[in-house]
Chain A
Amino acid sequence: MGHGDLALAVDEAVRAGAAYVDARHVADEAERIVARNGQVERVSHDTSEGVGVRALVDGAWGFGCAPGLDPAAIAGAARTAVGIARAAATLRRAPVSLAETPPAHGDYRTPCVIDPFTVPTAQKCDLAVRASEAAHQSPLVRSSEVFLSARRQWKRFVSSEGANATHDLVVTAAGLNVVVAEGDEVESRSYPFEAVGSYRAAGYEFIEGLDLVSAAPRVVDEAIEILRAPDCPAGRTTLIVGSAQLALQIHESCGHAVELDRVLGTEVSLAGTSFIRPDDLGRLAYGSDKVSIVADATCEGGLGTFAFDDDGVAATRTPIVERGKLVGFLTSRETAAQLGLDARGVIGGTMRAESWNRFPLIRMVNVNLESGEGSLEDLIRDTDDGMFVDGFRSWSIDDRRLNFHFACQVAWEVKNGRLTRRLRNPVYTGVTPEFWRSCDAVAGASEWRLWGLAQCGKGDPAQLVGVGHGAAPARFRNVEVGSGHRGGRS
Chain B
Amino acid sequence: MTALIARDDLEARIRAAVAQTGGERLCAFAVIRSRSVTRFADSSIHQAFDESNIRIEFRSRGHHGVSVTAATSALDAPTLAQTAARVIATAPAQSPPLSAETSRDQGTHDDSGWSLATTASSHEERADALRAAFGTAAPAVSFAGVFGARTLSFLHLRRDAPASFARISKAYFNVFGVGPRGDEGFDGCAHRDIAELNIDASVRTATERALRASAPKRRVCRGPIEAILAPDAVEELMSWAAPIGFGGKMFVEGAGFSAGRLGEPMFDAALTIHDDGLSDDPLAVRMPFDCEGTPKRCVTLVDRGRVVGIAHDSTTADLAGTVSTGHAPHDDVEAGPLPLHLFIAPGDASVDDLVRGVEHGLWITRFHYVNGYVNPREGAMTGLTRGGTFLIERGKITDPIETARFSDRFPAIFSSIARIGAERRLIPSWLHDAAGSVVPAIHVRALNLT
A396 lies within 8 A of B370 (CB): yes
User: Which one, A43, A60, A68, contacts B68 given CB within 8 A?
Assistant: A43
Main secondary structure of the interface of B (DSSP, over half): strand
A279 contacts the other chain (CB 8 A): no
B146 lies within 8 A of A270 (CB): yes
B407 lies within 8 A of A405 (CB): yes
Q: Report the separation of the CA atoms of residues A63 and B35 in the bound assembly, to the nearest whole angstrom.
A: 12
B182 lies within 8 A of A80 (CB): no
B412 lies within 8 A of A489 (CB): yes
A292 contacts the other chain (CB 8 A): no
| Chain B residues whose C-beta falls within 8 Å of the C-beta of A80 in the assembled complex | 50
Q: Which residue of chain B lies nearest to A125 when distances are taken between CB atoms in the complex?
A: B90
User: Which one, B49, B91, B369, contacts A399 given CB within 8 A?
Assistant: B369
- Nearest-Cβ distance from residue B294 to partner chain A, whole angstroms: 17
B205 contacts the other chain (CB 8 A): no
- Nearest-Cβ distance from residue A461 to partner chain B, whole angstroms: 7
- Nearest-Cβ distance from residue B54 to partner chain A, whole angstroms: 5
Q: Report the separation of the CA atoms of residues A361 and B412 in the bound assembly, to the nearest whole angstrom.
A: 39
B384 lies within 8 A of A429 (CB): no
B127 lies within 8 A of A87 (CB): yes
B331 contacts the other chain (CB 8 A): yes
Q: 1/0 contact trace for A139-166 toward B, CB 8 Å?
A: 0001100000000000000000000000
A269 lies within 8 A of B48 (CB): no
User: Which one, B73, B122, B370, B407, contacts A68 given CB within 8 A?
Assistant: B73
User: Which one, B43, B128, B255, B370, contacts A188 given CB within 8 A?
Assistant: B255
From A188, A405, A425, residue with most partner B Cβ within 10 Å: A405
B371 lies within 8 A of A461 (CB): no
Q: Report the separation of the CA atoms of residues A423 and B131 in the bound assembly, to the nearest whole angstrom.
A: 56
- Nearest-Cβ distance from residue A434 to partner chain B, whole angstroms: 15
A49 contacts the other chain (CB 8 A): yes
| Chain B residues whose C-beta falls within 8 Å of the C-beta of A67 in the assembled complex | 4, 52-54, 73-75
Given A84-B123, A269-B174, answer yes or no on A47-B69 (Cβ-Cβ < 8 Å). no
From B130, B379, B382, B386, residue with most partner A Cβ within 10 Å: B382
A487 contacts the other chain (CB 8 A): yes
User: Which one, A65, A185, A186, contacts B52 given CB within 8 A?
Assistant: A65
- Nearest-Cβ distance from residue B368 to partner chain A, whole angstroms: 5
| Chain A residues whose C-beta falls within 8 Å of the C-beta of B407 in the assembled complex | 405, 427, 484, 487-489
User: Which one, B72, B253, B315, B368, contacts A47 given CB within 8 A?
Assistant: B72
Q: Report the separation of the CA atoms of residues A359 and B39 in the bound assembly, to the nearest whole angstrom.
A: 11
B146 lies within 8 A of A48 (CB): no
Q: Report the separation of the CA atoms of residues A42 and B405 in the bound assembly, to the nearest whole angstrom.
A: 38
Q: Which residues of A contact B (CB under 8 A)?
A: 32, 36, 39-50, 60-68, 80, 83-85, 87-94, 121, 142-143, 179, 181, 184-186, 188, 195-196, 265-270, 272-273, 357-359, 393-400, 402-403, 405, 407, 425, 427, 429, 460-462, 482, 484-489
> Can you give 25 A-B contacts (C-beta < 8 A)?
A41-B315, A42-B66, A42-B331, A43-B67, A45-B70, A45-B86, A46-B72, A47-B79, A65-B52, A195-B373, A196-B334, A266-B41, A267-B41, A269-B144, A269-B176, A359-B49, A393-B373, A395-B371, A396-B369, A405-B405, A460-B146, A487-B375, A487-B381, A488-B408, A489-B412
Q: Which residues of B contact A (CB under 8 A)?
A: 4, 35, 37-55, 65-76, 79, 83, 86, 90-92, 122-124, 126-128, 130-131, 134, 144-146, 148, 174, 176, 178, 182, 184, 224, 253-255, 260, 315, 331, 334, 368-375, 377-384, 386, 403, 405, 407-410, 412, 430, 448, 450
Known: A45-B83, A67-B52, A80-B50. 13 other contacts (CB 8 A): A48-B53, A49-B73, A61-B47, A67-B53, A92-B45, A93-B43, A186-B254, A266-B41, A394-B374, A398-B386, A461-B35, A461-B51, A486-B409
